[in-house]
Amino acid sequence: MGFSFDSVAALPSIGGLATESATVAFIQPSTALQLLAFAVLLGGIYGLVALGLTMIFGVMDVINFAHGAMMVVGMYTVWWTATAFGLHPILSIPLAVLGLFAIGVLVHLTTISSIMDAPQENQLIVTFGIMLILISAIEITFSTDPQSLGLGLGSVAIAGVFLPLGQLYALLISISAVVVVWLFLQRTQLGRAIRGTADDRTAAQYVGINVPRIDYLTFGIGAALAGLAGAVIPLFQQINPYLGDSYLINAFVIVVLGGLGSFPGALLGGLIVGFVHVFGQYFLPGSGYQISIFLIFILVLLLKPEGLLGGGVSE
Amino acid sequence: MRRTTSQSDRRSFIKYVGAAGTLGLAGCVGQDPSDDDGDGSSVVIGSNHPLSGSLGGTGTRMDNAVQLAAMMKNDNGGIESLDGAELEVISEDNQGNQELGGEVTDSLIDDGADVITGCFSSPVTNAATRAAERAGVPFVISVSVDDAILQDNDLQYAYRPQPPASQMAVDHAELMPQVIRDAGRDVQTAGLYYINIDFGQSVRDSLREELPNQDIEIVEEVSIDFGETADTAVTQLADADPDVVIATTYEAETVELVRAMDNQDYAPPFIAGCANEALNDVGALEEMGETVEGALPTNFALNPTLDRASEVRERYESEFDESFDANVAMTYAATEVIIAGIEEAGSSDPEDINDALSEIEVSDHIAAMPPISFDENGENENALAPLFQVQDLDDRVVFPEEYAETEIDL
């Protein structure tokens, strides 16, 4: 009875431990369920991180290297307003979203808009520069020391599976954000204009859509989603100015894996990467899980280059 | 009339700004260590630490420790054997990047450093010590744990007062089980939790060798990368159910471990740390709370039995308004070794300082270890990482007895 992962456990492990010890030869159902819960929690957050990235790419064809840095600004907004002004972290999250929306619009108007028609490497360099500026500003303002809200929210146990409340709240916020953004794109005039622009920028201009306005709003919404993704992280983790990088690397994988510009793809990709991440960490030594994530990424690029749900924001 | 007054004001303004600028420039030039005429009026220590980047917080505190040691020596009359020559510290930022280790060392030497210290991150120190070797300038490692830095390279100009990874593991594997067993408790199995970089891997390797010598079987090893959560790692450790979980990580990863333990309601009989930053940091201990009460880390340490060590700690905290941790203590002690080397050499010439360091024995230092002297590899022959216990969320040295500030409580 129960899940046997004997063949997986026979993989080379830490210094030959797997072959010397029977401790990893069998995984209990409770452990498998626990890991599954962690995979869903992590995958949901990854999906949220990838959402803003895929939206900006889907509509504007811009790869935003500053996405991770914008997450960090979201993290520090929540931490700072909570510690300096005593504002409840959950109430600080909308502030981070609004602040990042404003930063996104400002960044677009002052830098990206003038190079929208330039070769794509120009946008890469500019967003890379913005990343450096944002991270340096955080370093100078708050130092490089790790910071924490020290919430200690604890966990709930359901059928022997522990669900850390910090991650659970983060997941619920992620799901809510996805629903809100999806409804916005599907049900509002502006959302339809964004989808129209994502479909065909030239045609959108011909039918009277103000594409430059759509661009800065899209960049603002993408930045706001980055801010939201960052804002939920202090609920369960210490933060530092470089934490965005850890999430961003996998977010790029998710965006390509799910399909460039695809919202459902970002969520599906997030869950897949979350699953590989958590189970890979359990069964593989060292950074083997990260190698597995990149192997899947390469396989998808070779077998289905448009991604699992390739399409676009317009879908 | 008005016009004349306006012109006069403008001329005055330009004159004063020009004078101020000239004075400012003169001040800058006057402070350039490369202008040292070599008459022995000052000796320059180069500080090569991460002042920005993910290690920037600790690196800045370590750099401050170098500055403070020089400041206190100058306050006490400077280098006696050089007729009161003052110590000068020049600092540069290696950002924790390996590729900058050698570059910063070269730059410090170009700027006049007679002796160098650094670098915290082992790969950076590896590169930095090689650059110093090429230039023939002595390098006293402030903090860097990897054995390979000195033991895999034939360096004649590099010295390490702190215990390296293997010594940390030897001390941990001996001291931690001994106090547990002396207290009538038992420890037979261990789970290792380490940061998956050079630092964590080197300590893990040494613990693998040393723990079995103390009849402790390693039943699980889990690693964590920067920015990761420890949820899966704790599930693995809970499944393996070791008697003691030994953490070798920086602050964030240890805080993560404890958070995940709390969330999964997992409490091993003992929590320990080998070269663990968080278990020697009061701020981190307060954040981790009751879960780490009674934890048993080994690390280099300030000698709690010395009044002078307490004075240094108080001066540091008032001077820089920052907490004084084990890395600061070890860096201060390393700078004390440099200062002793300069005194012994009676010269600011790097060759003379190097000759002195190779033969030196420094008894008057603030670290909790016997007199510091170096073997042929440049390793401190008497290096020691004493055992602490977290008591009332403070790190207190409990063993060996000669450095103990309080008794073990198990």
Euclidean distance between CA atoms A101 and A74, whole angstroms:
10
- Pairwise CB contact (< 8 Å): B263 & A155: yes
* Distance in angstroms (rounded) separating the CA atoms of residues A134 and A127: 10
Residue B78 maps to a domain: yes
> Taking the CA atoms of chain A, what radius of gyration do you get in angstroms?
20
Please give the pLDDT value at position B40.
54
Contact, B51 vs B60, CB < 8 A? yes
One DSSP character per residue, A223-279 reads HHHHHHHHHHGGGTS-B-TTHHHHHHHHHHHHHHHH-TT-HHHHHHHHHHHHHHHHH
Which residues of B are less than 8 Å from A17 in CB distance?
218, 220-221
Please tell me which residue of chain A has the smallest CA distance to B194.
Answer: A286
The C-alpha atoms of residue B65 and residue B49 are separated, in whole angstroms, by 11
How far is residue B21 CA from its own chain's centroid? 39
Q: What percent of chain B has pLDDT over 70?
A: 90
pLDDT of residue B6: 44
Whether the model pTM is above 0.90: no
Contact list, B259 vs chain A (CB under 8 Å): 152, 164, 236-237
Residues B56 and B146 in one domain: yes
CA distance B227 to A146: 11
Residue B92 near residue B135, CB atoms below 8 Å: no
Encode pLDDT of B54-64 as tens digits: 788 889 999 99
Q: Same domain for B219 and B202?
A: yes
Which residues of B fall within a CB distance of 8 Å from A286? Answer: 196, 223
- A238 and B208 in contact by Cβ < 8 A? no
Give the pLDDT confidence score for residue A10 in this predicted structure: 36
Q: How far apart are CA B316 and CA B62, in angstroms?
A: 11
Most trustworthy range by pLDDT among A194-198, A236-240, A241-245, B109-113: B109-113
Same domain, B392 and B254: yes
Q: What is the DSSP string of B197-230?
A: SHHHHHHHHHHHHHGGGGT-EEEEEEEE-TT---
**pLDDT of B17 above 60:** no
* DSSP state, residue A308: T
User: Measured between beta carbons, which residues in chain A are less than 8 angstroms from residue B327?
Assistant: none
Overall average pLDDT of the A230-258 stretch: 92
3-state secondary structure of B364: coil
Give helix A165-187 / helix A29-60 axis angle, nearest 10°: 30
What is the DSSP secondary-structure string of B234-263? HHHHHHH--SEEEEE--HHHHHHHHHHHHH
Our count of domains for chain B comes to 2
Residue (of A145, A143, A167) closest to A155 by Cα position: A167
In the block, which residue shows the tokens 């089980």? B177
Distance from CA of B99 to the nearest CA of A (A): 19
Do B48 and B108 lie in a common domain? yes
pLDDT of residue A311: 56
Cα(A292)–Cα(B263) distance, integer angstroms: 27
Inside any domain, residue B404 = no
**Residue B16's pLDDT band (cuts 50, 70, 90):** very low
List all residues 6 or more positions away from A124 whose beta carbon is below 8 Å from its beta carbon. Answer: A63, A65
Query: Measuring CA to CA, how many Å separate B219 from each of A17, A31, B237, B240, B342?
Result: 8, 17, 9, 6, 48
H-helix or E-strand containing A193?
Answer: helix A189-199
Is B232 in contact with A282 (Cβ distance < 8 A)? yes
- Whether the pLDDT of residue A164 is over 60: the answer is yes
Number of alpha carbons in the 13 Å side-chain half-sphere of residue B381: 11
**B89 and B156 share a domain?**
yes
Residue B32 lies in a domain: no
For tokens 């941790």, the residue is B325
The string of pLDDT tens digits covering residues A116-148 is 888 878 888 999 999 999 999 998 899 888 898
CB B54 within 8 A of CB A144: yes
Same-domain check for residues B278 and B309:
no
Residue B410 lies in a domain: no
A144 and B53 within 8 Å at the Cβ level: the answer is yes
pLDDT per residue over B383-405, tens digit each? Answer: 999 999 999 999 899 999 999 99
pLDDT at A193: 92
- pLDDT category, A38, cuts 50, 70, 90? very high
Full domain range(s) for residue B286:
166-299+387-399
B192 and B131 share one domain: no
**C-beta neighbour count of B121 within 10 angstroms:** 30
B133 and B270 inside one domain:
no
* B259 near A CB under 8 A: yes
Q: Compare CB distances from B263 to A15, A162, A285 and report the shortest one's residue.
A: A162
Neighbours of B102 (CB within 10 A): 21
Residue A107 in tokens? 């960044």
Segment A203-209 shows an average pLDDT of: 89
Mean pLDDT of A268-293: 92
The amino acid that residue A169 corresponds to is Y
pLDDT digits (tens, 9 = 90+) for B121-137: 999 999 999 999 999 99
Beta-bridged to residue B90, according to DSSP, are B46
CA–CA gap between residue B97 and residue B119 (Å, rounded): 10
Helix (H, G, I), strand (E, B) or coil at B49: strand
Residues B130, B229, single domain; the answer is no
Laid out side by side, the sheet with B86-93 consists of: B86-93, B42-49, B115-118, B139-141, B158-159
- Residue A313 is predicted with a pLDDT of 55
Contact A286 B196 (CB under 8 A): yes
Q: Which strands, in side-by-side order, build the sheet including B244-248?
A: B217-224, B189-195, B244-248, B270-274, B296-298, B387-391, B394-399
CA nearest A165 in B: which residue? B263
Proportion of chain B above pLDDT 90, given as a percent: 78
Closest approach of A211 to chain B, Cα-based (Å): 38
In this structure, what CATH number is given to the domain that contains residue B180?
Answer: 3.40.50.2300
pLDDT of residue B142: 97
- Distance in Å, alpha carbon of B151 to nearest chain A alpha carbon: 22
**Chain-chain contact of A287 with B220 (C-beta, under 8 angstroms):** no
B236: which chain A residues are within 8 Å (Cβ-Cβ)?
Answer: 282
Task: Answer for the pair B203, B233: CB distance below 8 angstroms, yes or no.
Answer: no
Domain contains B112: yes
Which residue in A146, A164, A282 is closest to B251 by CB distance? A146
Structurally, at CATH architecture level, domain A30-143+163-303 sits in Orthogonal Bundle (1.10)
Structure tokens at A135: 């991270």
A146 contact residues in B (CB cutoff 8 A): 57, 251-252, 255
Decide which of B4 and A219 is more confident: A219
| Residue of B56, B255, B264 lying closest to A148 (CB–CB) | B255
Q: Which residue has the higher pLDDT, A201 or A314?
A: A201
Kindly report the nearest CA distance between residue B51 and chain A, in angstroms: 9
- Examine the domain organization and report whether B289 and B325 are in the same domain: no
Q: Is the pLDDT of residue A7 over 50?
A: no
Query: Which of A15, A31, A281 is facing B221, going by the closest CB pair?
Result: A15
Cβ–Cβ below 8 Å for B56 and A139 = yes
Average pLDDT taken over every residue of chain B: 89
Per residue in A57-84, pLDDT (tens digit) is: 888 888 899 999 999 999 999 999 999 9
ipTM exceeding 0.85, yes/no: no
Query: Most A CBs within 10 Å: which of B232, B241, B253, B325, as the mutation test of the A interface?
Result: B232
Higher-confidence residue of A150 and B380: namely B380
Partner-chain contact A146 B57, CB within 8 Å = yes
Q: Give residue-wise pLDDT tens across range B55-108.
A: 888 899 999 999 999 999 999 999 999 999 999 999 999 999 999 999 999 999
Give the model confidence (pLDDT) of A11-25 as tens digits: 334 433 443 444 445
* Residues B168-218 pLDDT 10s: 999 999 999 999 999 999 999 999 999 998 889 989 999 999 999 999 999
Partner residue facing A246 (CB), from B55, B227, B289: B227
Tokens 């030497």 correspond to: B109
Residue B8 lies in a domain: no
Q: Which of B54, B218, B265 is facing A144, going by the closest CB pair?
A: B54
Measure CB to CB from residue A287 to each of B225, B229, B251 and give the nearest one.
B225
Judged by CB atoms closer than 8 Å, whether chains meet at A17 and B220 is answered as yes
Q: Which of B208, B239, B253 to mutate to test the interface with A (most CBs of A within 10 A)?
A: B239
Identify all chain A residues contacting B225, using CB atoms and an 8 Å cutoff: 246, 287, 290
Statement to judge: residues B82 and B125 lie in one domain: yes
pLDDT tens across B222-240, in order?
A: 999 988 999 999 999 999 9
- Find the mean pLDDT for residues B114-118: 97
Q: How far apart are the first and last CA of chain A?
A: 43
Q: Kindly list the domain boundaries of chain A, sorted by start residue.
A: 30-143+163-303
Hey, are the CB atoms on A281 and B226 less than 8 Å from each other? no
Is there a single domain that holds both residue B258 and residue B337? no
Sign of the torsion formed by the C-alpha atoms of A90, A156, A34 and B292: positive
CB pairs under 8 A between A and B: 98
Report, in angstroms and rounded to the nearest whole number, the Rg of chain B calculated over CA atoms. Answer: 24
